[in-house]
C-alpha cells in the first residue's frame, strides 16, 4: 500500500520509529573544519537566496567512489523538479544542530552553482520535537515566505534561543514568522492545512525511498545519496556528482 494512502500521523509515527537515530547521520557527525554554531544571543544576519553563478563549480579532489563516497539509489526518483535542471536535495531538520552548522557552508556552495542546478530543501522528521517545525517549513512554502524566513528559524533555535524546540507550539512558531510580516493566525491555519499534510507525505516518501537516515543529507538528482566523512566532503562529492550529471546531459 502506498504511503500516500496512509493518514499523516500514522506515516509520521512509522517513519520516526524507522529513523530512530534521527539527526545522527554518521556522514555529518565527525569533526569538520567549520566552527561550532555559536551559543551567543546575538542574531546572525539573514542570508539572501543565492543567485545562480555564471559558470559551473569546478570539482576538486579525487573522483567519488560508489559505496564509499555515495550510495546509488535503486529506482531513485527526483523529489519534484519539473524541468531538466540537475536537482540537489538537502534533507534537513530545523532542530538538528548539524544542520545549523551545515547551513553557512551550504549557502556558500549554492552560490557557486549555475542556473542548471536546482537546489531543493526538504524538511524531515528528525531532531527534537520535529513535527511542528516540519509543518512550519511547508506552511512557509505554501505562503511564499520560506526563502526569507529559513535562516531566521535556524537562528531562533540555535543562536538567539528565541525558540525552545521542546516547548514550541504552532502559536509560538507563528509569532516568529510574524516578524517577517506573516499573519500569525493565517500561519497556524497553514501549518495544519491539507496542503501541508500532502507536502509532508511527499517528503516522507522521498526520504524513505532515498534511504536517508539522518540529517543533513544530500541527494543528487534522485540517483545518489552522498555519504561524505565531513560536511565539506559532502559538498565536494556533491560537486563531482553534479558535474557527472551535467556531462551526461551533454552540458
Number of Cβ within 10 Å of residue 147's Cβ equals 13
Domain covering 18-29+66-223+234-248: architecture: 3-Layer(aba) Sandwich (3.40)
User: Which of 91, 95, 124 shows the shortest CA–CA distance to 11?
Assistant: 124
| CA–CA gap between residue 71 and residue 213 (Å, rounded) | 13
Q: What is the pLDDT of residue 49?
A: 65
Write out residues in the chain with pLDDT < 50, as ranges: 1-22, 24-47
Q: What is the pLDDT of residue 194?
A: 98
17 φ, ψ (degrees, to nearest 5): -65, -40
Going by C-beta distance under 8 Å and a sequence separation of 6 or more, which residues neighbour residue 222? Answer: 73, 76, 77, 78, 79, 87, 89, 210
Q: Domain coordinates of the chain in residue numbers?
A: 18-29+66-223+234-248
Model confidence pLDDT, tens digit, residues 156-209: 999 999 999 999 999 999 999 999 999 999 999 999 999 999 999 999 999 999
E strand segments, 60-213: 70-72, 86-92, 117-123
User: Which of 101, 247, 16, 202 shows the shortest CA–CA distance to 239?
Assistant: 247
**Cis ω before 173 (30° cut-off from 0):** no
Q: What is the pLDDT of residue 39?
A: 31
Q: What is the pLDDT of residue 4?
A: 35
Amino acid at each position: 500500500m502506498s504511503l500516500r494512502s496512509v493518514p499523516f500521523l500514522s506515516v509520521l509515527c512509522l517513519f520516526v520509529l524507522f529513523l530512530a537515530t534521527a539527526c545522527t547521520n554518521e556522514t555529518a557527525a565527525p569533526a569538520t573544519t567549520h566552527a561550532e554554531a555559536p551559543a551567543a544571543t546575538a542574531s546572525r544576519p539573514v542570508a539572501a537566496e543565492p543567485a545562480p553563478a555564471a559558470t559551473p563549480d569546478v570539482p576538486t579532489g579525487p573522483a567519488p567512489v560508489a559505496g564509499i563516497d555515495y550510495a546509488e539509489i535503486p529506482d531513485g526518483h527526483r523529489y519534484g523538479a519539473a524541468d531538466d535542471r540537475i536537482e540537489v536535495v538537502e534533507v534537513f531538520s530545523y532542530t538538528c544542530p548539524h544542520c545549523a552548522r551545515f547551513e553557512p557552508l551550504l549557502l556558500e556552495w549554492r552560490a557557486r552553482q549555475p542556473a542548471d542546478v536546482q537546489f531543493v530543501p526538504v524538511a524531515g522528521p528528525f531532531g527534537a520535537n520535529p513535527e511542528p517545525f516540519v509543518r512550519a517549513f511547508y506552511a512557509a512554502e505554501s505562503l511564499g515566505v520560506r526563502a526569507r524566513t529559513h535562516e531566521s528559524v535556524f537562528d531562533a533555535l540555535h543562536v538567539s534561543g528565541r525558540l525552545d524546540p521542546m516547548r514550541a507550539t504552532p502559536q509560538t512558531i507563528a509569532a516568529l514568522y510574524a516578524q517577517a510580516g506573516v499573519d500569525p493566525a493565517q500561519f497556524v491555519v497553514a501549518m495544519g492545512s491539507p496542503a501541508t499534510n500532502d507536502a509532508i507525505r511527499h517528503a516522507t516518501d522521498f526520504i524513505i525511498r532515498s534511504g536517508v537516515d539522518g540529517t543533513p543529507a544530500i541527494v543528487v538528482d534522485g540517483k545518489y545519496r552522498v555519504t561524505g566523512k565531513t560536511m565539506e566532503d559532502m559538498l565536494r562529492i556533491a560537486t563531482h556528482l553534479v558535474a557527472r550529471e551535467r556531462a551526461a546531459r551533454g552540458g
